Chains A and B, each alone.
Chain A
């Protein structure tokens, strides 16, 4: 049984020379829910973009769903890793909700019947079945975030990777999203500044700072360590 995500000694520098990842090691086992926390500039978003091959590290390796990161595997990797970005506007580029959620399955070449089935199940999983024919542009940010999750769920990924899911949400929308994530029975890796979310939903946490994972383990243990949190620009609410 493979690890869903296996990152080993990953190093990555941007074209302008800035070293963003300095040897990252991270394993996520199937079925686990892990949070990724750390200050801005730690490299969290950069790391996430390595998980579906958008960035390629200069050193080290990334294996996802048992597949190594080569060009030949990218298509399957993107089906296995459902990456949801922070700003839903970047992901909802179709006129209707149906079109957006159907993009993934359509790209995969599934037949029409299967596409419809996938769209309906994905919207059901985020409790937005009635939105199927709505115009994405007019939705509220909370609604858009849930649709954005549906757009990757329709590809039946092995793992859901989310970048700042609760950013910009009002308390009600945030509560709805937390409930949604709790009810989704999937492997998850979530990058977030929302420490209350982390404490509530994620049994495992990895702390990232300066391009490396500096601590990893059970959330209850790590988040109780005030000194550790403070050293890496974090605090509990």
Chain B
């Protein structure tokens, strides 16, 4: 019974797919940084960035609907910014006739909309990055961006066992559900504290099994000559298309920023 932690990679051989992972990760980060640096209210610039995302979605073959569907994931966090229309000082946009009249300002609304849009387009580019980069390549790309190797190896290991352990949790939850019975006439479920305790015990027993599993894994690795470092094949270096993308990307983001600030 497999847990469907869907592998987010969408295979393909578009010009986007074929770029070096360093370029894909690096340009995504630059994109998000650009979005972040743009001033509030720069809706023209936001539209240009959004168009960029859509273009990449189309050219890569990943598709606009794939990206859009997943992009609403961070929606709940919008609540963090929800007070802005009410608290940022400025010209009145409209007055809500409750509690003696609450003022919604133009500046506040612009800032609120700007934050939501910036967040939305950033998450879309992140979705695309993952869709065109197989995970091992992404880790290699991060390594090339100076993330320390031990941390990369830990994440790589984690990825390998993510599905195994998530499957185990799913089975734990199903086993618990199977014994969560009721009889007519009695209140079932126990107290909150009891239920929480059981959940804690499930976590604790899984933690123990994970430790023991990691020891078995280490033994298997040591038997194959592992001494603390992984060796891997060297990767090809950047080709001319990669450099082209990099240069164009930097120029593109740079000009957007310059134009928005003038």
Residue numbers of A with Cβ under 8 A of B are 14-16, 45-46, 49, 52, 54, 74-76, 78-79, 81, 83, 85, 87, 89-95, 99, 103-104, 106-110, 136-137, 151-152, 155
Residues on A with C-beta less than 8 A from B182 are 74-76, 78-79, 107-109
Counting chain A CB atoms within 10 Å of each CB, the highest count among B181, B186, B201, B206 belongs to B181
CB pair B188–A93 under 8 Å, yes or no, is: no
Residues of B within 8 A of A (CB): 1, 4, 6, 168, 171-172, 174-184, 186-190, 194, 198, 201-202, 205-206, 208-209
The answer to whether B190 touches A106, judged by C-beta atoms less than 8 angstroms apart, is: yes
> Of the candidates A78, A89, A110, which one forms a contact with B178 in the assembled complex, judged by CB atoms under 8 Å apart?
A78
14 A-B pairs with C-beta separation under 8 A: A54-B178, A78-B178, A78-B180, A79-B182, A79-B183, A85-B178, A94-B201, A107-B188, A107-B189, A109-B189, A110-B183, A136-B205, A151-B179, A152-B179
Q: How far is the CA of A46 from the CA of B1 in the complex (A)?
A: 8
A169 to chain B, nearest CB (A): 19
Distance, CA A76 to CA B168, complexed state (A) = 26
Chain A min CB distance to B143 (Å): 32
A49 neighbours in B (Cβ, 8 Å):
1, 174
The total number of A-B Cβ pairs within 8 Å is: 97
Residues A89 and B209 in contact, CB atoms below 8 Å apart: yes
How far, in whole Å, are A161 and B202 apart by their CA atoms in the complex? 23
List the 4 closest A-B pairs by CB distance, nearest first.
A75-B182, A79-B181, A109-B186, A78-B181
Contact in complex: B188, A109 (CB < 8 Å): yes
A91 CA to B183 CA in the complex, in Å? Answer: 21
Do A95 and B201 touch (CB < 8 A)?
yes
